[in-house]
Amino acid sequence: MFWTSYLLAVLAIVLAWPVPILLSRAQWPARSPFTAMLLWQAIGLAGGLSMIGAMLVYGLEPIGDNLLAGLRGLADMVLFNAPTTALGFWHLFALSAAALLTAHLVFTLLLTYYRIERQRRRHRELLALLASPSTDGPGTVVINHDSPVAYCLPGGARSVTVLSDGLMAALEPAELRAVLIHENAHLSQRHHLLLWAFAAWRQALPWLPTTRLAQEAVSSLIEMLADDVALKTESKATLIKAIAIVASGPSGVPASRVGFNGAGLPSAADGIIDGGIQGASGGAGSAGTTASRVSRLLSPKDPLPAPLRGLVLAGCLLLLALPTALLIVPGLLG
């Protein structure tokens, strides 16, 4: 138990600082965004599990040789008034911290979901008043807005893609198709769920570098994934022009929605209530995402070779298996 807690602590520190920094600076994620997305998720899950597990194992160390034995001892103290003298101050502190952090993460995840759903509901109500159905396909509506705007509002069967008059006037038919395919890819691949999870993670632990870097990286990667879907039927030149036109919209728009330009919704001051889903961190993040998308399309590189993708996926599995094994295997062997 003693060494397990320290090993978990070291793993948590490594996943909270050097690993996300190195990954955020790497060039290969743009070549295989899906693989990079899986790696970011593995880093987040393994880091959180290691952080909580290290405190939990350290706190239980005096009353059990492994996690299961320690939990049984703790249950006896809580339920059957067993003596607590074996636990010192720092052990009780570690157990309290583990419990509070777990509750904080779960509560923030649920609170973020509630806020997002409330924003979406209000936004749908406003769209029902201000938007009109589009002839470009089912589930597509048009708002009266001069700036080029395109975004999707997730909601299962109620999901809609929203376009502005300004966008439709600025785009050629092929460019408009690219935008619609891009937005439909966001919906079909459930990108809003990823954004929700990483937004909640950052809100829960804003002081942790991993949360900011992961949220920014994931926001960029989902745009690349949607671009790849659009490229299956439309040319690179068409998609680049569409991205450039949408990016020419108003600056300072919060990049907090699932949208073609990494932002997607005008601000409340533009007459549209802020809704959708929390995504990137701000206007600068949106500009950076647009630049990386265009650069990727202008200078395409081959996807990672299959052996390297397999190596990264194996690393993801290892990241998830290592803290799990450190926590569970000693108890099963015991």
Integer Cα distance of 189 and 329 in angstroms: 35
DSSP letter assigned to residue 302: P
Q: What is the pLDDT along the chain (334 residues), one digit of tens a residue?
A: 778 999 999 999 999 999 999 999 999 999 999 999 999 999 999 999 999 999 999 999 999 888 888 999 998 898 888 787 889 999 999 999 999 999 999 999 999 999 999 999 999 999 999 999 998 888 999 999 998 999 999 988 899 999 999 999 999 999 999 999 999 999 999 999 999 999 999 999 998 888 999 999 999 999 999 999 999 999 999 999 999 998 886 543 333 346 676 543 333 333 332 333 323 333 345 778 889 999 999 999 999 999 999 999 999 999 999 999 999 876 555 5
Rg (CA), the chain: 23
Phi (first) and psi of residue 272, to 5 degrees? -120, 130
DSSP H/E element including 252: none
DSSP state of 133: E
Q: Write down the pLDDT at residue 248.
A: 80
Which residues, at least 6 apart from 256, have a Cβ–Cβ distance to it below 8 Å?
A: 263, 265, 274, 276, 277, 278, 279, 280
Nearest to 256 by CA among 268, 245, 248: 268
Q: What is the pLDDT of residue 282?
A: 36
Burial track 172-206 (b if 16+ CB lie within 10 A, e otherwise): eeebbbbbbbbbbbbbeeebbebbbbbbbbbbbbe
As a whole number of angstroms, the distance between CA 99 and CA 56 comes to 8
CA nearest neighbour of 205 among 80, 102, 305, 327: 102
Helix H or strand E encompassing 143: strand 140-143
How far, in Å, CA of 231 to CA of 178, rounded?
8
Per-residue confidence (pLDDT) for residue 61, from 0 to 100: 92
Q: What distance in Å separates the CA atoms of residue 92 and residue 98, rounded to the nearest whole number?
A: 10
Between helix 283-298 and helix 209-230 the angle, nearest 10°, is 40
Strand partners, 133: 141
Cβ neighbors of 113 (< 8 A, separation 6 or more) are 196, 200
Task: Name the residue with tokens 């802020």.
Answer: 274
Beta bridge partner(s), residue 282: none
Cα–Cα dist 181/82, whole Å:
62
Q: For tokens 């500009």, what's the residue?
A: 287
In angstroms, rounded to a whole number, what is the distance separating the alpha carbons of residues 315 and 303? Answer: 18
CB atoms within 10 A of CB 110: 11
DSSP letter for each residue of 211-247: HHHHHHHHHHHHHHHHHHHHTTTS-HHHHHHHHHHHH
According to the model, what pLDDT value does residue 258 have? Answer: 66
34 and 222 Cβ atoms separated by less than 8 Å: no
d(CA 119, CA 180): 23
Locus of tokens 């052996």: 307
Q: Is the pTM of this model over 0.95?
A: no
Secondary structure class of 284 (helix, strand, coil): helix
pLDDT at residue number 254:
36
